[in-house]
Each structure stands twice: as C-alpha cells, then as structure tokens.
Amino acid sequence: MSHTTTNDSDDGMPRDRINSPSIDEGSSGGSGGAGVLKKGPWTSTEDAILVDYVKKHGEGNWNAVQKHSGLLRCGKSCRLRWANHLRPNLKKGAFTPEEERLIIELHAKMGNKWARMAAHLPGRTDNEIKNYWNTRIKRLQRAGLPLYPPDICLQALNEGHQNQNVSELSGSDARNNDLLQRNNYDIPDVVFDNYKACQGPLSYAAAFPDISGSGIMTQALGSSQNYIIMPPTVHQTKRPRESDALFPGFLGSVSNGLPSFDPSQIESFKKICRPFGLELPYDPYPNSKNPAPFSGSTTGSHAPLNGNISTSKPLSKAVKLELPSLQYLETDTNYWGTCPPPPLETMDAYLQSPPAMQAQSDCPPPWNSGLLEEVIHGPRVKNQSSEKSLNSSVTPADPIDNSSLTPADAMDKLTLELQETEWGDYGDPISPLGCSASSVFSECTPISVSSLDETAPVIVFHGGGKEDSTRLDKHMKFLRPDALLGSDCLEQDFDYAKDLAALLSEDFCNDYKYAASGTSTFSQGWGLGSFPWNNMPAVCQMSEHP
C-alpha cells in the first residue's frame, strides 16, 4: 500500500482529471489564482516538484507552492500529498499487529479522531488509519463481529467510570467540556436500525453523559442503541481542538493499574458472553471450553439485524451516527436485559424468517446485534476473510439452549414490554450503568451457545440493582487483558487466544493475542505525545519497530 498513485506518466497530466478545471479550493487556499488547478492522482513529476519545494522552503504556506513552483495544485492538495505520501519518515506497508491493536484501542477512546490517533502511530497518517478503520468496521460489521475486543471495551468502560468521577468533580472544566462533547457527539455511528427502538443501553449511556474516553463508551454503551439518546441537534460541538494531552495517562492506564482478577467469576461471565457469541478467553475449565468462540458471530450479514433493515420505523431520537461499536455489549444490553423490546418490525422480520432458521433456535431475537443472530443462523456471508476462517467452526447446529423462550413468547413479552417501557428507561437516571447495564450482563442470558448451562434463559426487563452493578464491575475486571498479567490463567488464555486467532479475522486475532499476552502496545513506549513529522523515526527505523 502506500505506493503513490502517481500515474508515472510523467507528463504531469494524469489522464483522468487533467483538466477538470477546479478553480478549486473553494474552501481554502486556492489563492494562487492560477485558475486551473489539477485534481486527481499526482504524477511523479508533481511529487518531485513538491518535494523540491518543501526542501527549499519548508512545510507550510502551501498555497505558495503553486506560486513558487508552478505546480498546478492547490495548497490543500499539496499539503495532503506531502503529509500522506511525500514527507519523510512515513511508514509504508500494512499495519503491524501492534499498530492494529493500538488503533483499536485508540479508536475505542477517541472515536474518529484520526489525526490524533495518527499522532500515536509514528509514520502513519490519519488517512491511512481512517481507511484502515473504515475497511475494518465494514468487514466486521458484515461479519457481525464486535469492533472492539472485550478487553478494550472494558478498558474504556473503566476509564469511563473514572472520567465520570472526574467530571463530577469539575463540571466546568474545559477539558471536561471536551470530553462531554466527544462523548455525546463523537459517537461512532454505524446505524443499526433494528436497534433503534432498543433503549436499554440508552439509559445506560444517558447516565454517563460525561464519560470520557468517548469512543468506546458511547459506542459500547451507547452503541447502536445509545445513539438514540443523542439528540441530533447536539452535534453543535465544533471540533474542539483537543490537545494531545487530553488524555494524560490514558496510555499508561492500559498497562497500569491492573485490576484484580477473580477466576471464580469467569464462569458466570462466560454465561453472559455466550449469548453474544463471545467466549471468554479466560476459561478456567479448559475441558469445557467451547472450541468455537464467536462461532455464532462469524458470518452472516445479518443485514436485517445489523443495521440494514428498514428504517421505516420512526425514531424518536437521533439516528445517524458513526461507528458501530461494541456489539457484544450492545448485544448484551440488547439481549433483553434492561433493553426494551425490539421494534416490532424486527420481530416481524424474524417471524417471517424461514422456519428452518427459527427451528434452529427457538429464540433468535431479531434485535440482537448480529452476533447472536450469527450464533443462531449461522454463516450467510461468503467471501469474507474474517468469515472464511470462522465458517469452519460454525455449524447451524450449534447448541443453543433457548428452549425456554420461544419466539412467540418473546414476541408476546417484548410487545408488552415495548408498550410499557417505550423510551422510559433512559429517562431514569439510575438505570443506566449502575443497574441496567450490569443487569444485562448478569441476567440477560436468554440463550447460550453452549448447552452446558443456561438452563433458564432469563428475560429481565427490569432495571436490575446495585448488586448487579457490582457484579458487572467484577466481570469487567477480569475481562481486561491487563488483568491477565500475573494471572495463572494467562497461559491458557493465550492458547485460547490462539484458538480465536484461528477463527477470527486477523485483526481480531491480533486483538486477542495481544490481549492475552498482555502485550499492549501502549507499553511499548510509543508514548503519549504527538509525533510531529520531524520527530518521527526514519522509515527504516520504524519498520524495525515491533
């Protein structure tokens, strides 16, 4: 990648938009006045001119490039070309697993702050990262996989708690404002239409309007459902220029302050995870280990479930959001915990699904994030790398003990609940994280991938209680990769991660491998600070970087 797309025609005139006269630069620059500015791919000649110019005049004042060099490119284009392709110390090639991991972690915390993320990835450009991410989420979305590995999710969640406390202490803090903005508006937002009516997590998110670390918090907790609480009008936040120190110590938090890890809680949390196709990488009982974690979440476009269904159902709140998020979490919450019922239309969709599918699972809630659907319906999408590796482990016959809840039952109950709880939960300042979310984790396990347990699927629509919150915290702690450090389970966790690696798309493989190995890139000294170009290690050096 990263090869320059110069046409190398060296004629300085890329065939395509050669003359697409873009008096261009409507927005910025364009002060050159040369009139016709080129667009489209850069040629090597143009590159040479630009490089030469920068050597002589340095960076900046991009609009002057045209004047001084005769380059028929707007300053904006020059800057972009330089930044993304010509500047020294650019790191070429595919992202390393460490980088991928870091990107995921950063995105979990920052959301779509590509430039800021790039600052943490020496030699990488925001555009590169953005492209990577967009491709990644697209792939994961299609596969119905969570965007963030559990450890990152929980990590962000924990930080969210911390930040919440901070915000409580200093509400007027400018930084806090920033966090607020980002939490509320910087929401990754892939739209999962089918979740729109599911406000369980909404309340969850609503209770944390000021959780920092935004990205994952708003995504994970708010994710497809939470965004609903985000008023469309809230987007007023106009990119507060955040300093790189916005999250001081944020990197360090990844590898530091390891929470305690209580193996005794593993099993219970496993139960929680299974419905979502998630399998804890920490299995104290290897023998009972489900060889096909995520088995259900592998494929399947679950289009109708994962955001591609009709948007016909009127939403009372904002809808358009950016990235999808923690589907396992959202699935959690979705999955009938405090989460309100799915839109009836989704139920309809479900009910209309082939009987065979329904037969595989008596309880395929259509409103699950897709992971669950995958568990239930099995692979549907082909030609997806991430799925390819998973398909082998996926069988429609994956044991799903959901016998206690039939679709009809669910329908009845959900319909009833829908009427009763329509948007009610998130109006409750208490329900969110304190109760609902946790209760979701601890109680909403209507089905299980494994037939080992979950004899009694539970559909709990009430808010849960404080105890649940406590339990949630506990669960979360041991989910964190850093919690694994020093854990006896580490080794087997890693083995498990390897299993996952064989099953999941490579990015996820990396996620888990690193999570299990505790090899957080944050600890690799890439540091907090930004990486101005001139501070970047040479390309060769970077390439040597693990």
Partner DNA sequence: AAGGGAAACAACCGCACTTTA
Partner DNA sequence: ATAAAGTGCGGTTGTTTCCCT
Please, what is the minimum distance in Å from the beta carbon of residue 81 to DNA? 5
Residues 380-399 that bind DNA (CB under 7 A): 382-385, 388
Residues 40-59 that bind DNA (CB under 7 A): 40-42
Chosen residue from 87, 139, 313, 462 binding DNA by CB under 7 A: 139
What string of H, E and C letters represents the secondary structure of 36-65? CCCCCCCCHHHHHHHHHHHHHHCCCCCHHH
Read off the DSSP letter of residue 295: G
Residue pair 160/205 in contact (Cβ under 8 Å)? The answer is no
Residue pair 297/384 in contact (Cβ under 8 Å)? The answer is no
Chosen residue from 9, 19, 134, 316 binding DNA by CB under 7 A: 134
Please, what is the minimum distance in Å from the beta carbon of residue 301 to DNA? 8
Q: Is 61 in the site for DNA (CB under 7 A)?
A: yes
Chosen residue from 9, 19, 31, 455 binding DNA by CB under 7 A: 31
Chain center to CA of 461: 26
Chosen residue from 49, 53, 72, 75 binding DNA by CB under 7 A: 75
Q: Is 131 in the site for DNA (CB under 7 A)?
A: yes
Q: Is 182 in the site for DNA (CB under 7 A)?
A: no
Q: Is 135 in the site for DNA (CB under 7 A)?
A: yes
Chosen residue from 39, 175, 196, 513 binding DNA by CB under 7 A: 39
Q: Is 127 in the site for DNA (CB under 7 A)?
A: yes
Q: Measured from the CB atom, is 86 or 211 closer to DNA? A: 86
Both tokens of 291, joined, read 């060889």
Selected range binding DNA among 136-144, 302-310, 326-334, 536-544, rule: CB under 7 A? 136-144
Q: Is 243 in the site for DNA (CB under 7 A)?
A: no
Residue 337: partners with Cβ closer than 8 Å, 6 or more residues away: 200, 436, 437, 439, 440, 441, 443, 444, 460, 461, 464
Q: Is the torsion defined by CA of 322, 374, 216, 200 positive or negative?
A: positive
Read off the DSSP letter of residue 235: G
Q: Measured from the CB atom, is 80 or 319 closer to DNA? A: 80
Residue 311: partners with Cβ closer than 8 Å, 6 or more residues away: 191, 193, 196, 319
Q: Measured from the CB atom, is 127 or 353 closer to DNA? A: 127
Rounded Cα distance between 270 and 117, Å, is 32
Q: Measured from the CB atom, is 58 or 355 closer to DNA? A: 58
Q: Judging by beta carbons within 10 Å of its beta carbon (0-12, 13-18, 19+), is residue 319 exposed, middle or buried? A: middle
Percent helix / strand / coil, the chain, rounded to 5? 50, 0, 50
Q: Measured from the CB atom, is 235 or 462 closer to DNA? A: 235
Chosen residue from 55, 172, 238, 287 binding DNA by CB under 7 A: 238
Q: Is 239 in the site for DNA (CB under 7 A)?
A: yes
Q: Is 124 in the site for DNA (CB under 7 A)?
A: no
Secondary structure (DSSP) of 138-152: HHHHHHT--SS-HHH
Rounded Cα distance between 104 and 140, Å, is 13
Please, what is the minimum distance in Å from the beta carbon of residue 23 to DNA? 10
Both tokens of 321, joined, read 């959001």
Please, what is the minimum distance in Å from the beta carbon of residue 61 to DNA? 4
Residue pair 201/464 in contact (Cβ under 8 Å)? The answer is no
**Of 109, 89, 97, 213, residue with least CA distance to 162:** 213
Query: In 28-49, which positions are buried (b, 16+ CB within 10 angstroms) versus exposed (e)?
Result: ebbebebeebbbbbbbebbbeb
Selected range binding DNA among 284-292, 346-354, 376-384, 436-444, rule: CB under 7 A? 376-384
Chosen residue from 49, 69, 85, 492 binding DNA by CB under 7 A: 85
Q: Measured from the CB atom, is 450 or 505 closer to DNA? A: 505
Q: Is 250 in the site for DNA (CB under 7 A)?
A: no
Chosen residue from 69, 112, 184, 295 binding DNA by CB under 7 A: 112
Chosen residue from 22, 218, 360, 393 binding DNA by CB under 7 A: 22
Selected range binding DNA among 25-33, 256-264, 282-290, 446-454, rule: CB under 7 A? 25-33
Q: Which amino acid is at 197?
A: A
Chosen residue from 99, 106, 132, 275 binding DNA by CB under 7 A: 132
Residue 318: partners with Cβ closer than 8 Å, 6 or more residues away: 227, 228, 229, 230, 231, 232, 234
Please, what is the minimum distance in Å from the beta carbon of residue 453 to DNA? 34
Residue pair 158/482 in contact (Cβ under 8 Å)? The answer is no
Q: Is 114 in the site for DNA (CB under 7 A)?
A: yes
**CA of 163: how far to CAs of 86, 104, 199, 281, in Å?**
39, 20, 23, 27
Q: Measured from the CB atom, is 115 or 357 closer to DNA? A: 115
Residues 313-352 that bind DNA (CB under 7 A): 322
Residues that bind DNA (CB under 7 A): 1-6, 16-17, 22, 24, 26-29, 31, 38-42, 60-64, 73, 75-77, 79-81, 84-85, 94, 112-116, 126-128, 130-132, 134-136, 138-139, 142, 238-241, 322, 382-385, 388
